[in-house]
A and B are shown apart, each in its own frame.
Chain A
Amino acid sequence: ETGVTQTPRHLVMGMTNKKSLKCEQHLGHNAMYWYKQSAKKPLELMFVYSLEERVENNSVPSRFSPECPNSSHLFLHLHTLQPEDSALYLCASSQARGYEENIQYFGAGTRLSVL
């Protein structure tokens, strides 16, 4: 496997469910990101992890809980979501230092539907 892999690709969940999104990168990067993309809107940065420490949390509701156990894996734990949380969730990775940190590489995303 190469690049950034996200699972599952599609997820349907009820508002009382608990689920997790998984992201794995095989690029040797040490920074990872979660983004949300809603229809007709720009990508919204949710969380940034650099060297396994959370460095950014852009006012994301607590029903979204990230976890970064190592530099290759990133999770987004979901619980008691709302229908407006339905969106495409994208994971990305980059180098944590130098100019290369500007270039982020994305997974294919998880299409989430909350019923």
Chain B
Amino acid sequence: DQQVKQNSPSLSVQEGRISILNCDYTNSMFDYFLWYKKYPAEGPTFLISISSIKDKNEDGRFTVFLNKSAKHLSLHIVPSQPGDSAVYFCAASGTGSARQLTFGSGTQLTVLP
């Protein structure tokens, strides 16, 4: 059973609009969450993270929101740019096993010019 789920395999957004990528988790022991971006033929690159003591973390055009009660996090990209087109992975780790990242299956974001 997947502990981290990204239910949308793909998302298309117009350039300049907001992209919202969603992620749900089931393990209440997770206390640190990350988003990675992956271009074809490259490894995943770290984008932004949030610890469970916060509900929002912002870095430029990227904002991650965490709703612990709903076990849900989201990544907002605004404004979206064509260069943001990539696969986005959500990942989570927990106390005592912080080295183990559990990944979602990814969402392919396409930003249309």
Contacts and interface: CB of A to CB of B under 8 A. Distances in A.
B51 A99 contact: yes
Interface stretch (A36-44, A59-67, A68-76): A36-44
Interface of A: 4, 6, 31, 33, 40-43, 45, 48, 50, 55-56, 90, 92, 94, 96, 99, 101-109
A101 B105 contact: no
A55 B104 CA distance: 23
Given A101-B98, A102-B93, A108 B42 contact: yes
Contacts of B89: 42-43
Interface residues of B, number: 24
Given A45-B101, A48-B99, A50-B99, A99 B106 contact: no
Contacts, number: 57
Contacts of A96: 99
B45 interface: yes
A45 B46 contact: no
B103 interface: yes
A42 B45 contact: no
Contact of A55 (B34, B99, B105): B99
Contact of B105 (A33, A40, A90, A107): A40
Contacts of A99: 32, 51
Interface string B8-35: 0000000000000000000000001010
A107 B32 CA distance: 22
Nearest to B42: A108
Given A43-B89, A102-B49, A103-B34, A48 B100 contact: yes
